[in-house]
């Protein structure tokens, strides 16, 4: 087969062949880079991180811009798809998907761009972005917040009057069987906290938007003072690091209602805020506590 003549190559307007190659390589490098804080420009950052990493079944209406339909963000959709549009035109985009990239903010923008124009009944198999998507802040109101609706099953996937065949009913039941009890703990504190009961003991995962280093130092000071707990029989378990922010975790007794922890988180939130604002040097005890916290932290993605 004859080689394609260089003079027949289609080059970007105003670019030489060398410039076009350099631009293509720069685009490839940019695609491989991981956004350090993919949702950092959004007020709903903590909610999106929680929905992507910790919450099993939930959805929330998104504050989209320039859309002619309602769009919801969800944890999981049928078949771990990236998006779907119901027959009434309502669109859903998922954060927990089977096919995605290492840049969830760009993936969400890609799914939203698809949802803006997709026809009723359409399904998006993958949210893996291809670089064609606009910035996320062009699609979402950056100051908007989410009213997250948690569910104990995935029955919200389908219209209430849907007639299920045996295979679909079996698939839905299998998905429902995987859900662990999860509830959002409400209160006047930074970020969002979710209580989950996986079995022997419950946990609270508190997604915060603080500077990660400052938060870790604050936790270390509070730990050194013996005050890093959420009441009787609770224990600070460590910190998840995900999407550029830290998520402190506590082990809890399963027989205490999740609502109990709202006031306790408010109290601890004030201690954390005061410690971050003071930004005092760490005592020897606090330095040891910090090293202990760091040694047990787990990075997600």
Query: How far is CA 206 from each of CA 9, 127, 218, 244, 293, rounded to the nearest angstrom?
Result: 54, 27, 15, 14, 15
Q: How many CB atoms lie within 10 A of CB 170?
A: 11
pTM: 0.86
Q: Confidence class of residue 195 from pLDDT cuts 50, 70 and 90?
A: very high
For the cut 90, the answer to whether the pLDDT of residue 27 exceeds it is no
Q: Confidence class of residue 54 from pLDDT cuts 50, 70 and 90?
A: very high
Return d(Cα 298, Cα 301) in angstroms, integer: 10
Task: Tell me the backbone φ, ψ of residue 298, rounded to 5 degrees.
Answer: -120, 130
Q: Confidence class of residue 234 from pLDDT cuts 50, 70 and 90?
A: very high
For the cut 60, the answer to whether the pLDDT of residue 26 exceeds it is no
For the cut 80, the answer to whether the pLDDT of residue 102 exceeds it is yes
Write down the pLDDT at residue 8. 56
Average pLDDT over residues 77-93: 94
Average pLDDT over residues 159-175: 80
Q: Confidence class of residue 159 from pLDDT cuts 50, 70 and 90?
A: confident
Return d(Cα 112, Cα 266) in angstroms, integer: 34
More confident residue, 26 or 216: 216
Average pLDDT over residues 57-72: 97
Paired with 205 in beta bridges are 194, 249
Handedness of CA 39, 135, 52, 193 (dihedral sign): positive
Domain residue ranges of the chain, discontinuous segments joined by +: 44-177, 182-299
For the cut 70, the answer to whether the pLDDT of residue 36 exceeds it is yes
For the cut 80, the answer to whether the pLDDT of residue 6 exceeds it is no
For the cut 60, the answer to whether the pLDDT of residue 29 exceeds it is no
Q: Fold for domain 182-299?
A: Yope Regulator; Chain: A, (3.30.1460)
Write down the pLDDT at residue 51. 98
């Amino acid at each position: 087969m004859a080689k394609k003549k260089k003079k027949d190559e289609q080059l970007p307007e105003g670019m030489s062949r060398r410039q076009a190659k350099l631009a293509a390589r720069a685009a490839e490098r940019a695609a491989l880079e991981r956004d350090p804080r993919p949702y950092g420009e959004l007020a709903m950052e903590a909610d999106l991180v929680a929905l992507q990493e910790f919450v099993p079944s939930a959805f929330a209406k998104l504050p989209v811009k320039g859309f002619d339909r309602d769009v919801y963000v969800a944890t999981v959709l049928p078949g771990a798809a990236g998006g779907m549009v119901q027959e009434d035109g309502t669109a859903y985009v998922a954060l927990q998907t089977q096919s995605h990239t290492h840049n969830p903010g760009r993936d969400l923008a890609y799914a939203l761009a698809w949802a803006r124009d997709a026809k009723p009944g359409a399904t998006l198999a993958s949210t893996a972005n291809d670089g064609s998507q606009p910035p996320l802040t062009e699609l979402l109101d950056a100051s908007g917040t989410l009213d997250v609706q948690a569910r104990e099953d995935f029955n919200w996937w389908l219209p209430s009057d849907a007639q299920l065949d045996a295979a679909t009913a079996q698939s839905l039941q299998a998905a429902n069987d995987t859900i662990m009890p999860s509830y959002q703990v409400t209160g006047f504190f930074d970020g969002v906290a979710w209580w989950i009961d996986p079995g022997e003991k419950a946990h609270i995962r508190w997604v915060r938007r603080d500077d990660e280093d400052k938060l870790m130092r604050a936790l270390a000071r509070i730990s050194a003072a013996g005050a890093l707990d959420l009441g009787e029989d609770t224990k600070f378990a460590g910190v998840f690091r995900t999407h550029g922010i830290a998520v402190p975790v506590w082990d809890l007794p399963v027989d205490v209602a999740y609502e109990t922890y709202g006031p306790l988180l408010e109290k601890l939130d004030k201690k954390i805020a005061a410690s971050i604002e003071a930004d005092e040097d760490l005592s020897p005890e606090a330095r040891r506590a910090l090293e202990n916290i760091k040694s047990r932290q787990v990075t997600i993605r």
